[in-house]
Structures are given as structure tokens and as C-alpha cells.
Amino acid sequence: MKTQKISEAVVRRLPIYLRFLNELAMKNIMTVSSQDLGQKLDLNPAQIRKDLAYFGEFGKKGIGYDVSYLIEKIRQILKLDRHIQVALVGAGNLGRALCNYNTYLRNDMKIVAVFDAMPGKAGESINNLTVQPMHEMKQTITKLGVRIGIITVPAVEAQNVANQFVECGIEAILNFAPVIIKVPADVRVHHADFTTELQSLAYYLD
């Protein structure tokens, strides 16, 4: 009901629910229980019910959840019912790879601009987009209404890019560079660093 603060853990699970619900919808499955969901997603059914209950009563007692209704609701909660424009800085291998997910993201989110500081990169084309030089960032981001920024530059450049994003009024950042970046409290940052992920996996080897 949005009065209480929703924990980050809950918000991180919502896209996972959504993804699986979309799979069900494609298979023309109309209804799903928290039991089913929990089994497929390796989560406790009570947790799933509780997560959803933070936002409303989406299920029917004795029946379960209507798949397409729940999809609609989760998309609303995540604000994926609107178009959200994304910009990416760093047209290296990783940046290119992420741009190619554009089709995958359906309509909801879309990378609409790519920037790179290297003079040689500007003008290159990636999947319908043309790489732009950094000095065009402010203007392009304003014009296209970009709200989320992705950082795929080397670690030493990441903070600098983050600063520029903030300057442009970006509201949230997904940072792939292996470094903690600092931004004002009203800008949301998620870290998606492959190297730390891999290193923590090593711990679990025997």
C-alpha cells in the first residue's frame, strides 16, 4: 500500500516473478498459486504472498493468482507500464552486449542513446544506435527524456561518468564498473559487477 517502505529484497524479487509469469502467459496458463511460484523460483510461498500483499490483494482465496492480471499489476508497481528511456556510456564489448538486449526488454525499457569518450568510437553504430561523443550527452538525455543510466566504462572513469549522469538529471544508475560510485542520496545506484560476483563464487568451492 506504499505507505510503509518496501524493502529492497522485495523489489528485487518482483522482476523475477514477472519474468516467470510472462513464461506462464506464453504457455496460456491462466492461474498460478504461490505454491507453484515458490517451487519454480526456489522461494517460500509465504514470502511470495507477503511480497505481493504489500501492494494490494491480487489473488483469490482458494484459487490463486490470475496470471495476466498479476503481470499487469507487477508491471505497474515496477513502473514498467510506461516507456522508460535508458542511456549507456561505454561502447566497449560489454556495452555492445547490453545494447543487444534491447529487443529482449520488450517495450518497457529501452536503451535509446550510447556515448563513449574515445574519439574513435563516436559515429560507430550499435544495433540501430549511433555512438555519440560525451559532449552531446546533456542535450540528448534532455531531448529523449532519459531517466536511467548504465555505466560500462573502465573503473577509473566510472565516477566521472556518474557525475555527468547526475549533472544531466539521471534518476538511477546501473554500474557495471568494478568500483563503488558516489552520488547524491536521491539518485539510486545498483551495482552489477561481474568480477566480485565471480570472486564470491570461489568461496564456495571445497
Angle formed by the axes of helices 34-41 and 45-53, nearest 10°: 120
The listed partner (DNA, its own copies, none) that binds 71, CB under 5 to 8 Å by sort, is none
The listed partner (its own copies, DNA, none) that binds 196, CB under 5 to 8 Å by sort, is its own copies
The listed partner (DNA, its own copies, none) that binds 47, CB under 5 to 8 Å by sort, is DNA
Distance CA 127, CA 122 (A): 14
**9 marked as part of a ligand binding site:** no
User: Phi/psi at 89 (nearest 5 deg)?
Assistant: -115, 125
In the list 50, 60, 143, 188, the residue contacting its own copies (rule: CB under 8 A) is 188
**128 marked as part of a ligand binding site:** no
Is residue 8 at the binding interface for DNA, with CB under 7 A as the rule?
A: yes
Is residue 196 at the binding interface for its own copies, with CB under 8 A as the rule?
A: yes
In the list 15, 19, 23, 60, the residue contacting DNA (rule: CB under 7 A) is 60
Sheet containing strand 59-60, strands side by side: 31-32, 64-66, 59-60
Distance CA 186, CA 174 (A): 14
The listed partner (DNA, its own copies, none) that binds 7, CB under 5 to 8 Å by sort, is DNA
- Residue closest to 134 by CA, chosen among 96, 169, 168: 168
Instruction: Tell me the closest approach of the beta carbon of residue 5 to DNA, in angstroms.
Output: 8
